[in-house]
């Protein structure tokens, strides 16, 4: 009887003396994104739109549309990103949600080779950090490469701001490699 009591006491002490790490609770979920449109407007006010579309949102099956980006050499561009969830009817404009919740979103653009095209975010959130829905850029000489488009979701955790401009933080809503040709 004494050994059963000591065993129960030992188990009870072990259970109650363990400290649990605090659970990090994000304040919102990732968006479902089926369509990404990149709208490039040149210095002559001509707009070209290039899209990625995956209506079933299944990364295993090929996308419905994945257009290559073709831009003019030595040209200035304004580039806007439009994002939609077309799994519902009517389609949901996720761009508006990103604008409303800018403090939790960061677009990252990586051009390979970097000498083809430079892009810089024009829009900022209320903490003066880049968002990347509206951008400005300049193409250089002719060439072929890639434009890697990433959307990071960086919602507050445990009531504290997470977004600090670092692309490594948060989860990924979009991760696309567009073929890029500068003519």
Query: pLDDT tens for residues 33-81?
Result: 999 999 999 999 999 999 999 999 888 999 999 999 999 999 999 999 9
The pLDDT, as a whole number, for residue 8 is 47
The pLDDT, as a whole number, for residue 23 is 39
83: phi then psi, degrees, rounded to nearest 5: -130, 135
The answer as to whether 56 is a domain residue is: yes
Query: What is the gyration radius of the CA atoms in the chain, in angstroms?
Result: 23
The answer as to whether 16 is a domain residue is: no
The pLDDT, as a whole number, for residue 30 is 75
The answer as to whether 147 is a domain residue is: yes
182, two tokens: 């500068």
The pLDDT, as a whole number, for residue 63 is 96
68 lies in which domain range? 22-182
The pLDDT, as a whole number, for residue 21 is 37
Please give the residue that has the higher pLDDT: either 16 or 111. Answer: 111
Tally of domains within the chain: 1
The answer as to whether 10 is a domain residue is: no
Burial class (CB in 10 A: 0-12, 13-18, 19+), 157: middle
Q: How far, in Å, CA of 139 to CA of 132, rounded?
A: 18
DSSP state of 4: H
The answer as to whether 14 is a domain residue is: no
Instruction: Check pLDDT > 70 for residue 24.
Output: no
Query: pLDDT tens for residues 134-177?
Result: 999 999 999 999 999 999 999 998 889 999 999 999 999 999 99
157, two tokens: 């955790």
What percent of the chain stands above pLDDT 90? 78
**Under 8 Å between Cβ of 33 and 45:** no
Tokens 């549309």 belong to residue: 65
The answer as to whether 121 is a domain residue is: yes
The pLDDT, as a whole number, for residue 28 is 52
Read off the pLDDT band of 6 (50, 70, 90): very low
């Amino acid at each position: 009887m004494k050994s059963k009591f000591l065993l129960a006491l030992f188990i009870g002490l072990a259970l109650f003396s363990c400290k649990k790490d605090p659970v990090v609770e994000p304040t919102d979920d990732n968006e479902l994104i089926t369509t990404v449109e990149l709208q490039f407007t040149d210095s002559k006010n001509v707009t070209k739109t290039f899209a990625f579309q995956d209506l079933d949102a299944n990364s295993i099956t090929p996308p419905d549309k994945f257009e290559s980006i073709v831009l003019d050499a030595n040209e200035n561009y304004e580039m806007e990103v439009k994002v939609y969830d077309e799994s519902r009817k009517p389609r949901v404009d996720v761009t508006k949600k990103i604008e409303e919740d800018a403090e939790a979103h960061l677009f990252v653009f990586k051009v390979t080779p970097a000498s083809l095209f430079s892009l810089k975010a024009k829009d900022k959130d209320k903490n003066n950090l880049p968002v990347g829905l509206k951008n400005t850029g300049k193409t250089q000489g002719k060439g072929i490469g890639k434009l890697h488009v990433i959307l990071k979701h960086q919602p507050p955790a445990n009531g504290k701001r997470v977004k600090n401009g670092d692309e490594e933080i948060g989860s990924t809503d979009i991760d696309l490699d567009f073929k890029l040709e500068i003519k």
